């Protein structure tokens, strides 16, 4: 799980390093700073007194003491002054310097609060953008599990324009669901809803039928002498014959797509926000079945269009639905060719959905 966003108490998060949004004295204060000092115990204050303070944008490390971490990395965020006093650069430095210091200490995981977004007044949506930019830049060249801990959902703010666009897309998609659902009912059996049967048969025989294209809706069902509906009239094949003709697996398809993209394995799993060990499992096992979130992460990393994404998902037995909020949000980004997985995950988090990749 290279980068994830959660809500909770950062003092209870288990990681190699926990970041403290400190003041320049490093001697404790309010908010996250005070909570970390209280949870770590008075020994933390004794060590902090030896550090001689810290400049804005810089980072210094101490032991974790009573916290569930090896190290506490103290960084001083900027006070918001309207955005014209170098606040973005200083906040970016807080995240970047903390990550680099954690790397120097041999840390494999780190947890951050949203630095400067409390009493320092940095607008939460802008602070989030800086945090994601700094973390994603670091992860493009480094392997580390990074967690951004929001104290509560109310402390998280997605870009307003993006949020409104996604809501509009979801509303428009849902408005078209009723006519589509009606079209899935067999005209000769109006009392019977064949949507689940149709999905099951299509999944069994694959998207491409040997007999040609299968029309959607009622036309997909044909009446036979014993009054049963099937997707086509092709002569039956044996189960052995059918299994022998199956398509490439998810793993085989993914590796082919990576080769075609010209990206390296490392570039791919980092862009997909996927752990290196998980990627190795997928590569080494041609029959590996990933979670849907994992499959989608690779589609985003490879910048597949909607049809290509659906095809890759089908290799793992999944599809994108027009009735699920999670699927619609991912669809929104693919249709608009926006493939930044960290931005997508911000949107999923804002709408209370599972994140992809991690």
CA distance 57 to 282: 39
Catalytic choice (9, 16, 33, 311): 33
Classified as helix, coil or strand, 324 is coil
Return the number of other C-beta atoms located less than 10 Å from residue 210's C-beta. 11
Classified as helix, coil or strand, 149 is strand
Do the beta carbons of residue 122 and residue 80 sit within 8 Å? yes
Token duo for residue 205: 């025989």
**Torsion sign (Cα): 52, 56, 59, 64:** positive
Strands, DSSP E only, in the chain?
3-7, 17-22, 59-63, 71-76, 109-112, 145-150, 222-223, 229-230
CA distance 174 to 135: 34
Q: Which residues contact 90 (CB under 8 A, 6 or more apart)?
A: 56, 57, 77, 78
Give the pairing type, strands 17-22 and 71-76: parallel
Single out the residue of 116, 63, 67, 111 nearest to residue 90, CA to CA: 116
Phi, then psi, of 126 in degrees rounded to 5: -70, -40
CA distance 30 to 126: 22
Q: Which residues contact 297 (CB under 8 A, 6 or more apart)?
A: 272, 273, 274, 341, 356, 357
User: Exposed, middle or buried by CB within 10 Å (0-12, 13-18, 19+), for 338?
Assistant: middle
Note if 247 is an active site residue: no
* Active site residues per annotation: 33
């Amino acid at each position: 799980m290279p980068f994830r966003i959660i809500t909770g108490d950062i003092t209870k998060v288990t990681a190699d390093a926990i970041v403290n949004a400190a003041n320049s004295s490093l001697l404790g204060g309010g908010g996250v700073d005070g909570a970390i000092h209280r949870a770590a115990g008075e020994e933390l204050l004794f060590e902090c007194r030896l550090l001689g303070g810290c400049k804005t944008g810089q980072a210094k490390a101490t032991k974790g003491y009573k916290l569930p971490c090896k190290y506490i990395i103290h960084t001083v965020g900027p006070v918001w002054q309207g955005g014209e006093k170098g606040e973005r650069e200083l906040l970016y430095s807080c995240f970047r310097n903390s990550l680099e210091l954690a790397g120097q200490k041999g840390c494999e995981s780190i947890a951050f609060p949203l630095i400067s977004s409390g009493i320092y007044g940095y607008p939460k949506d802008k602070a989030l953008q800086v945090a994601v930019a700094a973390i994603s830049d670091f992860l493009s060249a480094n392997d580390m599990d990074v967690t951004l801990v929001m104290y509560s959902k109310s402390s998280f703010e997605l870009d307003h324009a993006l949020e409104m666009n996604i809501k509009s897309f979801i509303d428009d998609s849902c408005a078209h669901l009723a006519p589509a659902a009606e079209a899935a009912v067999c005209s000769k059996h109006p009392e019977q809803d064949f949507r689940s049967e149709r999905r099951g048969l299509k999944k069994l025989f694959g998207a491409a039928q040997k007999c040609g294209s299968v029309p959607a809706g009622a036309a997909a069902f044909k009446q036979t002498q014993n009054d049963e509906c099937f997707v086509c009239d092709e002569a039956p094949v044996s189960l052995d014959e059918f299994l022998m003709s199956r398509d490439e697996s998810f793993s085989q398809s993914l590796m082919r797509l990576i080769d075609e993209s010209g990206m390296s394995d490392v570039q791919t799993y980092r862009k997909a926000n996927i752990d290196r060990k998980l990627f190795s499992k997928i590569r080494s096992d041609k029959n590996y079945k990933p979670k849907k979130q994992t499959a989608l992460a690779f589609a985003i990393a490879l910048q597949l269009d909607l049809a290509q994404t659906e095809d890759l998902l089908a290799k793992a037995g999944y599809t994108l639905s027009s009735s699920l909020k999670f699927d619609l949000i991912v669809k929104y980004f693919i249709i608009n060719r926006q493939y930044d997985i960290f931005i997508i995950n911000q949107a999923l988090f804002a709408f209370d959905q599972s994140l992809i990749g991690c």
